[in-house]
Amino acid sequence: MLEKLNLKNKKVIMVLLMVIVVYLAYVFSFEKAISAVALNHQLKAAQQPGQEPDAAFPQLERKHAFYQSVLKGYKVRHEDRENRLWQSVSAMAIAKNVEINFSPNITTAEQDTSEIARGIVAQKFIFKGSYFNIVKLLDTLAKSPGIGKIANAKLLKKTANSSEEKSDKLNLELQLVGKEN
């Protein structure tokens, strides 16, 4: 059929096919891209001057969520904090077969006045027990919500006097730090 057409008609058919291909390419591809570019220019013009888009905003959001989750672990209830904390920690120690010593002369570490003003509290405890029981207690304390976080742990082996029997018990000096609600 194409062989019967003369050169002029072949050129006309070729031009028509090229126009159809260009039109189809425009409809299926270029039309959406051109409208997206126009919308981008329109939105940039509508944006207030001096208000730059913050490229780090999603990263800041993730950081904020992370720090909020960390801070949540330090939360301690304000109402009757010392009694509640003592009851919780001593109950965990008893459950793990560890002795807990209460001595009013145990002073907590010196705190900065800015920490006190922000509601950051520290409490020191002394435990006595076998190594495995103390490790179990530390694991339980680390996972317990509402008592703060472990800030300092010191494991000591007291030397036995000649009059006392040798003991396998270790002493654990532990400091819990929290932020009052």
Residue 82 sits in the same domain as residue 38:
no
Structural domain harbouring 37: 1-44
- Does residue 26 lie within any of the structural domains? yes
130: its two tokens: 């076998």
Residue 89 sits in the same domain as residue 176:
yes
What average pLDDT does this structure show over 73-86? 70
- Does residue 68 lie within any of the structural domains? no
Percent composition of the chain: helix, strand, coil (DSSP 3-state, to 5): 50, 20, 30
| pLDDT reading at 117 higher than 70 | no
47 Cβ neighbours under 8 A, 6+ residues apart: none
What is the bridge-based pairing of β-strands 75-76 and 170-180?
parallel
pLDDT of residue 15: 94
pTM over 0.85: no
d(CA 181, CA 179) in angstroms, rounded, equals 6
When divided into structural domains, the chain yields a total of 2
d(CA 101, CA 125) in angstroms, rounded, equals 7
Residue 111 sits in the same domain as residue 36:
no
CA distance between the termini of the chain: 89
Predicted confidence (pLDDT) per residue in 3-29, tens digit: 778 888 889 999 999 999 999 988 888
- Does residue 59 lie within any of the structural domains? no
12 vs 18, 24, 168, CA distance in Å? 10, 18, 103
| pLDDT reading at 69 higher than 70 | yes
CATH number of the structural domain spanning residue 130:
3.30.70.60
| pLDDT reading at 47 higher than 70 | yes
> CA 133, 134, 139, 141 torsion: positive or negative?
positive
pLDDT of residue 181: 67
Residue 12 sits in the same domain as residue 99:
no
Residue 85 sits in the same domain as residue 37:
no
Residue 150 sits in the same domain as residue 97:
yes
Average per-residue pLDDT in the chain?
A: 79
| pLDDT reading at 85 higher than 70 | yes
Predicted confidence (pLDDT) per residue in 140-152, tens digit: 888 888 788 888 8
**Residue 172: beta bridge partners?**
127, 155
